[in-house]
């Protein structure tokens, strides 16, 4: 068998991508970070000096650019046309603007179409905000990964420090995370919400490996 479709959704910095990558590796599945796709459109819009209010221009750009990554690339490199944007899409400027771009319905339909192609029949771990609700509504495994806003900010703060990335204060990080969650949860199209058949995991007091183990057990039960 090729494997299952595994959907992992949840708020910003809940550890979705770290956990999703490990789960994918463990089962020999492909990992797909859908947030990177919305970030790439945002990066391209900023690069083109588009106003974030100019929805028409952003939609046109989203349809024109080619976002690509190699499924299974251990470095998870992301390209917009032929330009590598792996690091650039993690900037504060992109993070501050991505929710506005991701709220545009035509941008979403473009990305969702692409994501369904990547997910194919299975053997995929896909993380995002609307994977279980919209992109892969029939996925047999749906996880909603949460953690307290303080804990998410604390982890991001430590991660930035370890990577030597200039970081704002812990309080500022928490505020930015909460603001992005609020925008993502209240938009009209495919807001961040737990699918009715998703299993919620609160990682506030769990290690990465404990979360990976919990998800692995759920996959093994279905496989």
**Residue 152 interacts with ligand C5P (CB under 6 A): yes or no:** no
**Residue 130 interacts with ligand C5P (CB under 6 A): yes or no:** yes
Residue from 4, 7, 8, 12 touching ligand C5P (CB under 6 A): that is 12
The angle at the Cα of 184, spanning 218 to 90, to the nearest 5 degrees, equals 85
CB-nearer residue toward ligand C5P: 163 or 217? 163
Is 17 assigned a ligand-binding role in the annotation?
yes
At 216, list the tokens.
């692995």
Beta-sheet strands, E only, within the chain: 5-9, 30-33, 67-68, 79-80, 83-84, 124-128, 141-146, 199-202
Q: What is the DSSP string of 126-147?
A: EEESSIIIII-TT-SEEEEEE-
Site for ligand C5P in 23-82 (CB under 6 A): 34-35, 38-39
Residue from 5, 32, 67, 184 touching ligand C5P (CB under 6 A): that is 184
Is 196 assigned a ligand-binding role in the annotation?
no
Across-strand partners of 126? 7, 32
Task: Detail the residues annotated as belonging to a binding site for ATP.
Answer: 10-18
Which parts of this chain interact with ligand C5P (CB under 6 A)? 12, 34-35, 38-39, 98-99, 102, 128-131, 180, 184
């Amino acid at each position: 068998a090729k494997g299952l479709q595994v959907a992992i959704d949840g708020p910003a910095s809940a550890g979705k991508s770290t956990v999703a990558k490990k789960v994918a590796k463990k089962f020999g599945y492909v990992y797909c970070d859908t947030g990177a796709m919305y970030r790439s459109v945002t990066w391209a819009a900023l690069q083109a000096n588009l106003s974030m209010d100019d929805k028409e221009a952003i939609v046109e750009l989203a349809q024109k650019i080619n976002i690509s990554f190699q499924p299974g690339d251990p470095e998870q490199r992301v390209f917009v046309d032929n330009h590598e944007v792996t690091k650039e899409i993690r900037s504060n400027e992109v993070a501050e603007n991505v929710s506005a771009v991701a709220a545009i319905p035509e941008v979403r339909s473009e990305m969702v179409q692409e994501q369904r192609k990547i997910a194919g029949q299975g053997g995929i771990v896909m993380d995002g905000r609307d994977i279980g609700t919209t992109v892969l509504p029939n996925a047999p495994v749906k996880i909603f990964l949460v953690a307290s806003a303080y804990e998410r900010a604390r982890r991001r703060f430590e991660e930035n420090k370890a990577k030597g990335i200039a970081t704002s204060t812990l309080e500022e990080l928490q505020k930015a995370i909460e603001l992005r969650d609020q925008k993502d949860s209240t938009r009209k199209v495919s807001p961040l919400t737990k699918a009715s058949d998703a299993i919620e995991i609160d990682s506030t007091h769990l290690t990465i490996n404990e979360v990976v183990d919990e998800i692995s057990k759920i996959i093994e039960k279905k496989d």
